[in-house]
């Protein structure tokens, strides 16, 4: 974990009372890290941290919500739900983990990492929206807290009932990060005399389907086949129907369309559209996501559309397409490159340049990068050095603090290469630096050379 989190001028949102408390948050986080580094009693450090964050939850949240109410901030209900989730769900879960593991070093690192990550990911990202420095595009139509809690319970129960797995929620802000080989299944529901549609996307990690539906069918291979996909389709439809039955307001909705999406189609929808719900679960045999999209932003004409008269043919086509991609990947295995940059132009430009030779994924922040790497570790991370909120150095510090990600190769993307910047991050062992101002062919050449050296055992 980092030795210090430095307050930077761009973190100010322009509301003095909130900015003051944010600076205090940084100070307290740094104090906790210092106590751990000095070898203080771990249980005492944890208790001090929990005590502070509980106090923070009662004071800062209250003051912040009062300010938002005073300016008639329209996203106050959603913001209040985020505060409530941290106070009532996240902190108690961390406290239980610490007690259960007898305040182990790993649980302490987890606790401090979550506190630091939440500070960066919420307090300095969500709160910036208050001052209209950014626009909250993806979470403005969330279900209420009670609705979300009810849906989570229904989904967890359904995962147990239908797939016999004890799942747990990883994130209620799943941002379409890729995990393994995914099956992206979209269902569109409509109702008489109502123009708006309800769009739900279920994401199954391939291994989850094989280890659950496949076992029920007695399939012993590790490959998808037509029977397994059809069984998954109908299991998924029943899964959603059961969830909808628990909410009377949805009882008059019926299925109108279903599609299998590619990951790129799924990602495009999730990035473009507002989410009413976006949950990610670990089932113990693979990941599972349940996403509900704002109905007025429904995407049409994408994926493999499945209707009653063409279901068999479309499923076969879908499977053949997957097999073609898998065989192509085996014949020509591609290195996975993750681009982390807050500039959409930079991300898209880098992806266009690299996609012919590499499997490229993109995220727009350090916090999203950590989540993406945890779900599907890349062979190389191209990391923007000058990102706001959680910059490249802080992101790399978080990676290097976890032994699972300690050796993930990271090359900084930077607009500068001054000695101070280079020296400052040398202890974090970056694999290099690429100037953003370099010509595209020069950037591509440096990445190619990195992988060539790695293959020859020189990295």
The counts of H helices and E strands in the chain are 16, 12
Mean pLDDT over residues 92-100, rounded? Answer: 76
Domain ranges of the chain: 9-131, 145-329, 334-455
Question: Taking all residues of the chain, what is their mean pLDDT, rounded to a whole number?
Answer: 76
Instruction: Pull the structure tokens for residue 70.
Output: 């005073």
The secondary structure of residue 144, as a DSSP letter, is P
Mean pLDDT over residues 155-175, rounded? Answer: 85
Which pLDDT value is given to residue 242?
A: 78
Please state which CATH number belongs to domain 9-131: 1.20.120.50
**313/344: higher pLDDT:** 344
User: What confidence tier does 218 reach under pLDDT thresholds 50, 70, 90?
Assistant: low
Contacts of 229 (CB under 8 A, 6+ apart): 183, 315, 318, 319
Element spanning 453, H or E: helix 440-455
CA 252, 257, 262, 264 torsion: positive or negative?
Answer: negative
Q: How far is CA 226 from CA 314, 320, 401, 407, in A?
A: 10, 10, 44, 39
Dihedral (Cα; 360, 408, 345, 261), 10-degree rounding: 30
Which pLDDT value is given to residue 40?
A: 66
Which pLDDT value is given to residue 288?
A: 93
* pLDDT of 272 above 80: no
Q: How does pLDDT run across 3-49, given as a tens digit for each residue?
A: 455 565 655 667 777 777 777 777 776 776 676 667 667 677 677 77
Which pLDDT value is given to residue 140?
A: 44
β-pairing verdict for 168-171 and 275-282 = antiparallel
Cα R_g (the chain), whole angstroms: 23
Element spanning 205, H or E: strand 194-205
Element spanning 115, H or E: helix 105-118
At how many degrees (to 10) do helices 91-100 and 42-70 cross?
A: 170
**228/25: higher pLDDT:** 228
Measured between alpha carbons, how far is 194 from 192 in angstroms, rounded to an integer?
Answer: 5
Name the superfamily (CATH) of residues 334-455: Response regulator (3.40.50.2300)
Which pLDDT value is given to residue 358?
A: 92
Please state which CATH number belongs to domain 145-329: 3.40.1550.10
* pLDDT of 209 above 60: yes
* pLDDT of 249 above 60: yes
Dihedral (Cα; 363, 366, 369, 373), 10-degree rounding: 170
The percentage of the chain sitting over the pLDDT mark of 90, rounded to a whole number, equals 9
Helix (H, G, I), strand (E, B) or coil at 427: helix
* pLDDT of 362 above 80: yes
Residue in the block written with tokens 């996501």: 289
At how many degrees (to 10) do helices 42-70 and 105-118 cross?
A: 20
Give phi and psi for 169, each to the nearest 5. -75, 130
DSSP symbols for 267-281: HHHHHHSPEEEEEEE
Q: How does pLDDT run across 185-195, given as a tens digit for each residue?
A: 999 888 888 77
């Amino acid at each position: 974990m980092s030795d210090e989190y430095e307050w930077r001028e761009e973190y100010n949102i322009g509301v003095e009372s909130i900015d003051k408390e944010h600076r205090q948050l940084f100070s307290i986080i740094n104090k906790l890290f210092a106590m751990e580094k000095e070898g203080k009693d771990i249980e005492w450090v944890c208790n001090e941290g929990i005590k502070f964050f509980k106090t923070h939850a009662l004071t800062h949240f209250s003051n912040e919500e009062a300010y938002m109410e005073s300016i008639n901030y329209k996203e106050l209900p959603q913001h209040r739900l985020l505060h409530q989730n941290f106070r009532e769900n996240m902190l108690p879960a961390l406290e239980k983990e610490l007690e259960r593991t007898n305040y182990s070093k790993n649980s302490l690192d987890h606790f401090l990492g979550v506190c630091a990550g939440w500070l960066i990911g919420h307090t300095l990202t969500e709160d910036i929206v208050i001052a209209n420095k950014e626009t909250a595009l993806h979470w403005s139509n969330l279900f209420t807290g009670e609705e979300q809690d009810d849906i989570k319970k229904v989904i967890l129960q359904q995962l147990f009932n239908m797939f016999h797995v004890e799942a747990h929620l990883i994130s209620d802000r799943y941002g379409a990060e890729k995990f393994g080989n995914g099956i992206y299944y979209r269902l569109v529901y409509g109702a008489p005399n109502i123009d708006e549609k309800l769009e739900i996307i279920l994401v199954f990690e391939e291994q989850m389907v094989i280890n659950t539906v496949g076992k029920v069918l007695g399939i012993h291979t590790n490959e998808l086949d037509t029977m397994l996909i059809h069984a998954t389709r109908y299991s998924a439809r029943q899964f959603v129907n059961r969830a909808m039955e628990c909410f009377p307001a949805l009882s008059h909705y019926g299925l109108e369309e279903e599609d299998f999406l590619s990951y790129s189609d799924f990602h495009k929808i999730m990035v473009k559209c507002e989410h009413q719900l976006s949950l990610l679960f670990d089932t113990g045999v693979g990941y599972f996501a349940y996403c509900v999209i704002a109905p007025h932003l429904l995407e049409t004409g994408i994926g493999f559309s499945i209707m009653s008269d063409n279901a068999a043919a479309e499923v076969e086509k879908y499977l053949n397409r997957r097999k073609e991609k898998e065989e192509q990947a085996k014949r020509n295995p591609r290195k996975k490159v993750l681009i982390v940059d807050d500039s959409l132009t930079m991300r898209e430009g880098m992806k266009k340049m690299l996609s012919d030779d590499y499997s490229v994924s993109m995220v727009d922040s350090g916090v999203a990068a950590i989540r993406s790497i945890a779900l599907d570790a890349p062979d190389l991370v191209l990391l923007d050095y000058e990102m706001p909120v959680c910059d490249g150095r802080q992101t790399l510090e978080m990676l290097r603090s976890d032994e699972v990600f300690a050796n993930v190769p990271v090359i900084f993307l930077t607009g500068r290469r001054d000695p101070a910047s280079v020296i400052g991050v040398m202890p974090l062992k970056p694999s290099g630096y690429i100037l953003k101002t370099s010509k595209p062919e020069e950037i591509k050449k440096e990445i190619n050379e990195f992988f060539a050296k790695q293959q020859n055992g020189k990295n």
